[in-house]
Amino acid sequence: MKLVAEKRQTSSKLFRFSAPLISILVALFVAGFLLLAAGVSPLQAYLEIIKEALGSTYGLSETLVKTTPLIFASLGVSLAFRMQIWNIGAEGQIYMGACGATAVALFSGLENHVMMITAMFLAAFLCGGAWAGVAGILRARWRVNEVIVTLLMNYIAILAVDYLIYGPWKDPKGFNFPLTAQFSDAARLTEYFNTRLHSGFFLALVCALVLYLFMERTVWGYEIKVIGSNPKAAQYAGMRTGLAIFAVLFLSGAIAGIAGFSEVAGLQHRLQHGISPGYGYTAIIIAWLAKRSALGVVIVSFLMGVLLVGGDSLQLSWQLPVAFVYAFQGLILFFLLASEFFIQNRVRLVRGTSHD
Amino acid sequence: MTDLLQVKNIRKTFPGVVALDDISLSIAPGEIHTLLGENGAGKSTLMNVLTGLYRPDCGEICFDGEPVSFGSPRDSLAMGIGMVHQHFMLVPAHSVFENILLALDKIPNFYSRKQYQQKIQQVLDDFELDLDLDAPVWSLSIGAQQWIELIKLLIRDCRLLILDEPTAVLTPQESARLFRVLTRLRDQGKSILFISHKMREVMEISDRVTVLKKGRSLTTLARGSYDQGRLASLMIGEDQVPEWEKAPCQDERLALEIRNLSVRNDRGLSDLDNFTMKLQRGQVLGVAGIAGNGQKALAEVLTGLADASSGKILADDGQDITNSTARSSYIAGIAHIPEDRKSIGIAPDMTVDDNLIMKSFTSPAFRRGIFQDRAAIRNNAAEKIEQFAIKAGPTGNPVRYLSGGNIQKVIIARELSEQPSVLVALYPTRGLDIGSAEYVHKVIVDGAKQGMSTILISEDLDELLKLSDQIVVMFRGRLAGCVDPRSTTREEIGLLMSGEVQT
């Protein structure tokens, strides 16, 4: 008796759409054992997550605050995924975006709020884009694998930011802490409801809508989809695939860079160490879970936001390490990849040793 | 002496296709036996049956007089049947030694490297081969890589060696060397099943030849009882020449001219060699030839996928478009039905609607500014689906769910939508059912009436004889001859295809 996997001719639509949900449920189940091992009741912990993240104005606003950078970064990553380009470097692009926005905030001397914010936004957009654009040029010109380049450039970006805040950009009045000076009021996004929720969140929603329209309605989106589906056919139809690869990676990085802008202008009001606790990596999971849709990115980012905020409260109430949240994210991705296999293949138990 | 391998009445079907109808074949020890047949005659399927990749639906395989059944390639390899595939099964980053070691079973966990190296070296010396065992495989030439594949089989003491078009990737010198080794192997008592398209090699090396056609083994001939002409006509078939269907082309004006064109491939060999032809307006020019004789390079250079190394392509107004910037725009006006539909013809995950505009998506008809005009795209699709009778399934269906014939119709509909002046069609009816094939023929004939010129590259002589105003025959990238379909014979074309004669 043995297990045999065979390719499915067609995959069920229902299964395809429910697979991410099932993956999350299975991940919840398995993570339950981790909680048990830590001496925590899984059910209580999950209830606590939901209560903390959604049960109060404060909790909800915090969840949206965490959701914001996730949406930007995941939109960037998913855009590249559409063309079968794997941008693993959203983390570094967030740092570079934050860096660009900070440079404008600290040194441009602009006093008008709108002009300042616009300039910061553009700086973040260009810095994030340029950072990913390096991988784009290497890939388009010399077929250098973009996974390696984008991944390794994360470390460069994070260390470059560290250099700036420990060195030239350090706040002279900051008691030698590795921080830049606080931004002027002109360089801060509006906050709402007396919480930390800032206009970056709404910008993220607009960005998702724009990206949706870009992919589904424009000529360029069409081109990206054709190249993603079959690069050879695209070339044969006269599309310039090299240029498209660069453009998409640039745009992907630029959108991730906006997350950096929104973090420094909306939340932290200065550049400091660890401005992103791995949003760029979580974005990869989100982009996978959301498949191809911008709306999916928004929803999944929100779920991840819930998990992050709820996970924080687990740390407080049960002294669970933050590693639990990352382990949970890892489990989701793991089961999601596994579900991909079951969508593509039918698995049967076969009796005897026949080879048919 | 009993035969080493006997294949009796093998049949193998795939959903909707009979790949092998009725194949019988026997191979004696110490024999070089050649399989000859057009593409699609069933050679590859038969190989895959013999090496255990496919199981036949019915029929019998006897090895050494015993009936055998192979569940996997491992089983047939254990019996002593080894194959050198057209696409090598090597690990490029590993050394020659490591690759050869992979072929061996039962290597102890702590093996003596020296002992195995000696063993391999002995085989190399035996055949006077010079290979650096420590070199990584990727650094070796294609010819050397093929030697590794062969040594992998020799070191296992395989008794039957199957070589799938081994000379396709070799220079003439390398081929000659391979033949010397094969002849020696035969003299040592090994059996070799050799697959080739190249008539001269077949003549040179075979002890016996079995001709396959449409999944059947037609006949087996021993050396001396065949010549190139006989084999060619067997391969192609001797049925009646079909009725010529098309009104003759009257227009004297040129649509396209190719002068002394050469195309070199990655390995520096000439795929197209000093090739010259003229295409009149409204003419259907058939291109015949055994696969791999430059047809693909011809199509690629005309559609902008390959560059010419010398020679000229002239447009209808006599303008040289070989390498000028005008080339891309002129080529954009050449419609192309590619050989490999699924790999370059379509974007499989996208809808039929989207695939139908792949070449004209920037046209103002399908866009409003930067936005696509979805309604126009849908209307275009609805129109094409009706006009070309495409069974497209529900709206929004990805094109990969369509059958081969319908995918071909999608490609044709798209390629013909811009009223091209020239159509380059590669094997446009290969793998299609009769109805769809008829439809493709009709499209070509109708196009010709409206002044579209077609370069029809095909292996199906019936198709060529039925549709063409003129047939050019290619051999080794050169023009072997040019015949009039109304007065030629199959035999004449067959001889030209085999390179035996030139007109």
Per-residue burial over B374-411, b if 16 or more Cβ lie within 10 Å, else e, is: eebbeebbeebbeebebebeeeeebbeebebbbbbbbb
Q: Is residue A279 part of a domain?
A: yes
Q: Is residue B247 part of a domain?
A: no
Give the residue with greater pLDDT, B360 vs B194: B194
Residues of chain B positioned with their CB less than 8 A from the CB of A226: 347, 350, 354, 358, 361
* B336–A236 CB contact, under 8 Å: yes
Rounded CA gap, A145 and A88, in Å?
A: 11
CA B311 to chain centre: 26
* A233–B367 CB contact, under 8 Å: no
Is residue B226 domain-shared with residue B272, that is, in the same domain? no
- Indicate the range of A109-113, A161-165, B57-61, B307-311 predicted with least confidence: B307-311
Residues of chain A positioned with their CB less than 8 A from the CB of B401: 10
- The model's pLDDT over A237-290, given as tens digits with 9 standing for 90+, comes to 778 888 999 999 999 999 999 999 999 999 999 999 888 988 999 999 899 888
| Residue B192, pLDDT score | 93
In order, the DSSP letters of B78-115 are HHTEEEE-SS----TTSBHHHHHHHT-S---SS--HHH
Among chain A residues, CA nearest to B337: A236
Answer whether B11's CB lies under 8 Å from B56's CB.
Answer: yes
- The model's pLDDT over A230-242, given as tens digits with 9 standing for 90+, comes to 888 887 777 888 8
Q: How confident is the model at residue B465 (pLDDT cuts 50, 70, 90)?
A: confident
Is residue B293 domain-shared with residue B350, that is, in the same domain? yes
Q: Which two tokens stand for residue B173?
A: 């010198």
Q: Is the pLDDT of residue B331 over 50?
A: yes
Q: How confident is the model at residue A102 (pLDDT cuts 50, 70, 90)?
A: very high
Is residue B265 domain-shared with residue B405, that is, in the same domain? yes
Q: Is B420 on the interface with A (CB under 8 A)?
A: no
Q: How confident is the model at residue B326 (pLDDT cuts 50, 70, 90)?
A: very low
Q: Is residue A268 part of a domain?
A: yes
Query: How many C-beta atoms lie closer than 10 Å to residue A186's C-beta?
Result: 16
Give the residue with greater pLDDT, A6 vs B33: B33
- Indicate the range of A254-268, B172-186, B326-340 predicted with least confidence: B326-340
Q: Which two tokens stand for residue A87?
A: 């941008």
B499: nearest Cα among B263, B240, B231, B284: B231
Rounded CA gap, A346 and B269, in Å?
A: 45
Q: Which two tokens stand for residue B227?
A: 């010549």
B159: nearest Cα among B77, B87, B92: B77
User: Can you tell me the mean pLDDT for B160-168?
Assistant: 85
Q: Which two tokens stand for residue B472?
A: 């050019």
Q: How far off is chain A from B205, nearest CA to CA, in Å?
A: 37
Is residue A161 domain-shared with residue A24, that is, in the same domain? no
> Which DSSP symbol is given to A186?
G
Q: Is the pLDDT of residue A48 over 50?
A: yes
- Indicate the range of A4-13, A128-137, B120-129, B349-358 predicted with least confidence: A4-13
Parent domain of B406: 254-497
Parent domain of A18: 1-40+320-356
Is residue A30 domain-shared with residue A103, that is, in the same domain? no
Q: Is residue A48 part of a domain?
A: no
CATH at A73: 1.10.3470
Q: Which two tokens stand for residue B336?
A: 């192309």
| Residue A132, pLDDT score | 96
Helix axes A241-263, A57-82, angle to 10 degrees: 170
For chain B, give me the number of helices (H) and strands (E)? 16, 21
Q: Which two tokens stand for residue B469?
A: 């105003």
Is residue A343 domain-shared with residue A248, that is, in the same domain? no
Q: Is residue A161 part of a domain?
A: yes
CB < 8 Å & 24+ apart, contacts of A15-18: A15/A342, A15/A343, A16/A343
Q: Which of A10, A222, A233 sits opposite B372 (nearest CB)?
A: A222
Q: Is residue B80 part of a domain?
A: yes
HEC string for B312-329: EEECCCCCECCCCCHHHH
Rounded CA gap, B468 and B490, in Å?
A: 14
- The model's pLDDT over A156-201, given as tens digits with 9 standing for 90+, comes to 999 999 999 998 898 888 788 888 988 888 888 888 888 899 999 9
State residue B258 phi and psi, 5-degree precision: -120, 125
Rounded CA gap, B204 and B223, in Å?
A: 10
Is residue A237 domain-shared with residue A187, that is, in the same domain? yes
- The model's pLDDT over B262-318, given as tens digits with 9 standing for 90+, comes to 888 766 667 888 888 888 888 889 998 877 788 888 888 887 777 788 888 887 777
Q: Which of B358, B370, B372 sits opposite A226 (nearest CB)?
A: B358
Q: Which of A217, A220, A233 sits opposite B345 (nearest CB)?
A: A233
Q: Tokens 């003299």 label which residue?
A: B187
Across-strand partners of B372?
Answer: B367
* B372–A217 CB contact, under 8 Å: yes
Residues of chain B positioned with their CB less than 8 A from the CB of A355: 55, 71-72
Residues of chain A positioned with their CB less than 8 A from the CB of B394: none
| Residue B500, pLDDT score | 66
Q: Is the pLDDT of residue A146 over 90?
A: yes
- The model's pLDDT over B132-163, given as tens digits with 9 standing for 90+, comes to 888 888 888 778 888 888 888 888 888 899 99
Is residue A99 domain-shared with residue A218, that is, in the same domain? yes
Query: 3-class SS at A102?
Result: helix
Rounded CA gap, A85 and A67, in Å?
A: 24
Is residue A5 domain-shared with residue A64, that is, in the same domain? no
In order, the DSSP letters of A241-281 are HHHHHHHHHHHHHHHHHHHHHHHIIIIISS-BTTSSSSHHH
Is residue B149 domain-shared with residue B216, that is, in the same domain? yes
Rounded CA gap, B43 and A342, in Å?
A: 34
Q: Which two tokens stand for residue B65?
A: 């007089």
Query: How many C-beta atoms lie closer than 10 Å to residue B250's C-beta?
Result: 10
Q: How confident is the model at residue A69 (pLDDT cuts 50, 70, 90)?
A: very high
Q: How far off is chain B from A117, nearest CA to CA, in Å?
A: 27
Across-strand partners of A6?
Answer: A346
Length, in residues, of chain A: 356
Is residue B231 domain-shared with residue B356, that is, in the same domain? no
Is residue A258 domain-shared with residue A174, that is, in the same domain? yes
Across-strand partners of B257?
Answer: B278, B314
Answer whether B263's CB lies under 8 Å from B297's CB.
Answer: yes
| Residue B321, pLDDT score | 74
HEC string for B183-228: HHHHHCCCEEEEECCCHHHHHHHCCEEEEEECCEEEEEEECCCCCH
Q: Is residue A66 part of a domain?
A: yes
Q: Is residue B246 part of a domain?
A: no
Quote the ipTM score: 0.76
* A233–B354 CB contact, under 8 Å: no
Q: Which of A225, A233, A355 sits opposite B346 (nearest CB)?
A: A233
Is residue B363 domain-shared with residue B463, that is, in the same domain? yes
Which residues 59-78 of chain B have a CB within 8 Å of chain A? 71-72
| Residue B368, pLDDT score | 86
Q: Is residue B431 part of a domain?
A: yes
Instruction: Calculate what percentage of chain B has a pLDDT beyond 90.
Output: 4
Q: Is residue B382 part of a domain?
A: yes
* B371–A220 CB contact, under 8 Å: no
Instruction: Calculate what percentage of chain B has a pLDDT beyond 70.
Output: 90
* A219–B372 CB contact, under 8 Å: yes
Is residue B382 domain-shared with residue B350, that is, in the same domain? yes
Answer whether A187's CB lies under 8 Å from A117's CB.
Answer: yes
- The model's pLDDT over B69-121, given as tens digits with 9 standing for 90+, comes to 888 888 888 888 888 887 788 888 898 998 888 888 777 777 788 888 888 88
Is residue B258 domain-shared with residue B229, that is, in the same domain? no
Give the residue with greater pLDDT, A350 vs B442: B442
Q: Is A342 on the interface with B (CB under 8 A)?
A: no
Rounded CA gap, A281 and A158, in Å?
A: 13
Is residue A86 domain-shared with residue A153, that is, in the same domain? yes
Q: How far off is chain B from A176, nearest CA to CA, in Å?
A: 51
Is residue B224 domain-shared with residue B274, that is, in the same domain? no
| Residue B266, pLDDT score | 66
Measured at the CA of A340, the angle between CA A338 and CA A342, to 5 degrees, comes to 80
**Identity at B471, one-letter amino acid code:** I
Q: Is residue B502 part of a domain?
A: no
Q: Is residue A220 part of a domain?
A: yes
Q: How confident is the model at residue B167 (pLDDT cuts 50, 70, 90)?
A: confident
| Residue A75, pLDDT score | 96
Q: How confident is the model at residue B343 (pLDDT cuts 50, 70, 90)?
A: confident
The stretches of B303-389 forming alpha helices (DSSP H) are 326-332, 352-356, 374-387
Among chain A residues, CA nearest to B300: A236
CATH at B224: 3.40.50.300
Q: Is B380 on the interface with A (CB under 8 A)?
A: no
Rounded CA gap, B392 and B409, in Å?
A: 10
Query: How many C-beta atoms lie closer than 10 Å to residue A225's C-beta?
Result: 19
* Beta-carbon contacts below 8 Å between A and B: 64
Is residue A356 domain-shared with residue A259, that is, in the same domain? no
- For chain A, the domain total comes to 2
Q: How confident is the model at residue A353 (pLDDT cuts 50, 70, 90)?
A: very low
What is the model's pTM? Answer: 0.72
Exposed/middle/buried for residue B21 (C-beta within 10 Å: 0-12, 13-18, 19+): middle
- For chain B, the domain total comes to 2
- The model's pLDDT over A198-233, given as tens digits with 9 standing for 90+, comes to 999 999 999 999 999 999 899 999 999 999 988 888
Among chain A residues, CA nearest to B331: A238
Is residue B352 domain-shared with residue B309, that is, in the same domain? yes
Exposed/middle/buried for residue B108 (C-beta within 10 Å: 0-12, 13-18, 19+): exposed
Q: Which of A229, A236, A356 sits opposite B349 (nearest CB)?
A: A229
Is residue B224 domain-shared with residue B261, that is, in the same domain? no
Length, in residues, of chain B: 503
Q: Is residue A49 part of a domain?
A: no
Q: How confident is the model at residue B195 (pLDDT cuts 50, 70, 90)?
A: confident
Q: Is A10 on the interface with B (CB under 8 A)?
A: yes
Q: Is B358 on the interface with A (CB under 8 A)?
A: yes
> Which DSSP symbol is given to B347?
-
- H or E element in which residue B372 lies: strand B371-372
Q: Is residue B374 part of a domain?
A: yes
B162: nearest Cα among B71, B45, B65, B56: B45
Rounded CA gap, B210 and B202, in Å?
A: 11
Is residue B90 domain-shared with residue B211, that is, in the same domain? yes
A71: nearest Cα among A176, A234, A201: A201
**Identity at B465, one-letter amino acid code:** L
Q: Is B354 on the interface with A (CB under 8 A)?
A: yes
User: Can you tell me the mean pLDDT for B239-252?
Assistant: 62
Across-strand partners of B272?
Answer: B263
Rounded CA gap, B71 and B53, in Å?
A: 8
Query: 3-class SS at A227?
Result: helix
In order, the DSSP letters of B428-495 are TTTT--HHHHHHHHHHHHHHHHTT-EEEEE-S-HHHHHHH-SEEEEEETTEEEEEE-TTT--HHHHHH
* B343–A236 CB contact, under 8 Å: no
Which residues 224-253 of chain A have a CB within 8 Å of chain B? 225-226, 228-230, 232-238
| Residue A262, pLDDT score | 95
Query: 3-class SS at B6?
Result: strand
Query: How many C-beta atoms lie closer than 10 Å to residue A292's C-beta?
Result: 16
| Residue B269, pLDDT score | 67
Highest mean pLDDT among A44-53, B10-19, B35-44: A44-53
Q: Which of A10, A220, A230 sits opposite B348 (nearest CB)?
A: A230
Is residue A163 domain-shared with residue A235, that is, in the same domain? yes
Q: Is the pLDDT of residue B490 over 50?
A: yes
Q: How confident is the model at residue B244 (pLDDT cuts 50, 70, 90)?
A: low
What integer best gives the mean pLDDT of chain B?
Answer: 82
Answer whether B158's CB lies under 8 Å from B80's CB.
Answer: yes
User: Can you tell me the mean pLDDT for B468-495?
Assistant: 84
Q: How far off is chain B from A13, nearest CA to CA, in Å?
A: 12
Residues of chain B positioned with their CB less than 8 A from the CB of A220: 370
Q: Is residue B503 part of a domain?
A: no
Is residue A309 domain-shared with residue A289, that is, in the same domain? yes
Q: Which two tokens stand for residue B186?
A: 């035969």
| Residue B145, pLDDT score | 86
Instruction: Give the side-chain half-sphere CA count within 13 A for A266.
Output: 26
Rounded CA gap, B412 and B428, in Å?
A: 9
* A237–B359 CB contact, under 8 Å: yes
Q: Is the pLDDT of residue B464 over 50?
A: yes
Q: Which two tokens stand for residue B133?
A: 């065992």
Is residue A17 domain-shared with residue A112, that is, in the same domain? no
Rounded CA gap, B480 and B472, in Å?
A: 8
